[in-house]
Amino acid sequence: MKKQNAGFGIRFAADLIDNLILTIPISTVFFFITGDLTFNWMMGWTWPTIYTIYLTFIPLVWSGYIIGKRIFKIKVCRMDEEGLTLKTMVLREMIGKFLLANVTFGITTLASIFMVIFREDKRAIHDLIAGTYVSREQI
């Protein structure tokens, strides 16, 4: 299999699928706990915290994949082609995405979108911080 860097469209689609797949069971759990079928739990820090934990730890046990990335056959890889480590994923997801996006009020997220669209290597700010890229498998 030949690999190439994944672009914005496929990364966005994988993220959208992940959000949908995770929102349904979590909403069900919150419904059984609270009896309320609203999405108030997505406001504030609850959803971003759950999602950041998911994005940090699942790729460690699933060789760079999360559900959406697995469906679209893309995965997070280190630039040196070694296996992902906790340090790599904390730098990528918790610091490079979550912390920076909150500190800069989303400016780094917008910059990352343009970087993935226009950079030849398709790497975003969080990829540069962690030394990662998102690989797309071609058959």
pLDDT at 61: 97
Q: Which residues of the chain have pLDDT under 70?
A: 1-3, 39-42, 139
Cα–Cα dist 50/18, whole Å: 12
Cβ pair 123, 8 in contact under 8 A: no
pLDDT at 2: 60
Cα–Cα dist 24/7, whole Å: 27
pLDDT at 42: 67
Total residue count of the chain as it appears in this document: 139
Give the DSSP letter of residue 84: P
pLDDT at 78: 97
pTM listed for this prediction: 0.88
Its domain, for residue 36, covers 2-138
pLDDT at 41: 61
Distance of CA 104 to the CA centre of its chain: 18
Cα–Cα dist 124/133, whole Å: 8
